[in-house]
Chain A
Amino acid sequence: MRISATLIVAATLVLAAGTYALRVAGPLLRDKIELPANLERLMGVATVVLLAALVATAALLDGDGFAGIARPAGVAVAGVLAWRKAPFVVVIVAAAGTAALLRLLGVP
């Protein structure tokens, strides 16, 4: 691959600086803006919604297409175990184990 190293470094710095700006925006602006109480409650809901959407897209999609069966199955098993209040370690190991086992059996 022949892309100039300078260009790659420049792009990395753009991504790094931009990402930091996105991260620091909330903590810096939070004091400056006075938010009504119900909007503040919605902020908590927004984080939950965002994380739930991340879980769904990461579990079901790979790029533009479907992630196959093994990964969603692993996450589903984790969901049931977490719902039943299984210990965190069990939940995560079960998710990885289910997906790994299904792949071992040839399930995509």
Chain B
Amino acid sequence: MRSIWRTLDPRVARDIALVCLAGAIVGASFGAITVSVGLPFWLPSLLSVLVFAGAAQFAFVGILAAGGTPLAAAVAGLLINARHVPFGFAIADVLGAQRLRRFVGSHLMIDESVAFALAQDDPKQRRAAYWMCGVGLFICWNLGVLVGAFGGRVISDTDTFGLDAAFPAVLLALVLPSLRERPTQRAALAGVVIALVSAPFVPAGLPVLLALAGVLVSWRSSHARKEPAA
């Protein structure tokens, strides 16, 4: 495992460290918000260790705070986390065949670790980026949550610092290099349109799954390319 850390490009390691720092701050806000709406002090940490998925955790707590039932909160969280199924198929090679790595690595599967792995070309770099981002964010996120839950309202509104813009920016910066080819660009554009148009009508989590239909566009255009150009 130590060789994995040594493999990683120092520049990628620095980028991951920045995301971990931002994750710790958002984690602190999650801890503080959860406790401030009257939920038990242990809940943010329980969620962060066992679920480890920011968007689903915020939704879970938000639904409880709004008076929803715990079951409704769990179902909403699961729907938001459904995107991990396609992520899992894409990232299976990165985790490898070893059982322990597969089972531990699966828990570290989050948007950021998947995106950092995707952004590397070399298989060894992919693996190193995935693990470093997953482990790093797990530690920072949980430490942040702990500080937020006990430290009170130091940071409750991370929007003031623009962190709500930082996280989509992280994924955007990591996904852009993969958008070089035309069919992929078309597929992504179709997916984005589907997600944005469907968002007002379906529960959270579903729009990005529906976006997968955009893949069909790339499928079609890659077939169409074989035909002679007019």
Give A residues with C-beta under 8 Å from B. Answer: 1, 3, 5, 7-16, 18-20, 22-31, 38, 42-61, 63-64, 67, 70-75, 78-79, 82-83, 88-89, 91-92, 94-101, 103
Contact = CB atoms under 8 A, between A and B. Distances in A.
Given A48-B175, A97-B162, A13 B111 contact: no
Contact of B166 (A7, A48, A50, A92): A92
B162 A96 contact: yes
Contacts of B87: 23, 26, 47, 50
Contacts of B8: none
A106 to B, nearest CB: 13
Interface string B208-225: 100110110011001000
Interface of B: 11, 14-15, 18-19, 22, 37-40, 43, 46-47, 50-53, 56, 60, 64-65, 70-71, 73-74, 77-78, 81-93, 95, 97, 102-103, 105-107, 109, 111, 114-115, 118, 159-176, 178-179, 183-184, 187-192, 194-196, 199-200, 204, 207-208, 211-212, 214-215, 218-219, 222
From DSSP, what is the main secondary structure of chain A's interface residues?
helix
26 contacts: A12-B46, A19-B77, A23-B109, A25-B84, A26-B86, A26-B89, A30-B89, A30-B93, A42-B219, A49-B187, A49-B214, A50-B212, A51-B118, A52-B188, A54-B83, A55-B171, A56-B195, A71-B164, A72-B165, A83-B176, A88-B15, A88-B18, A89-B18, A92-B18, A96-B169, A103-B159
A45 B83 CA distance: 14
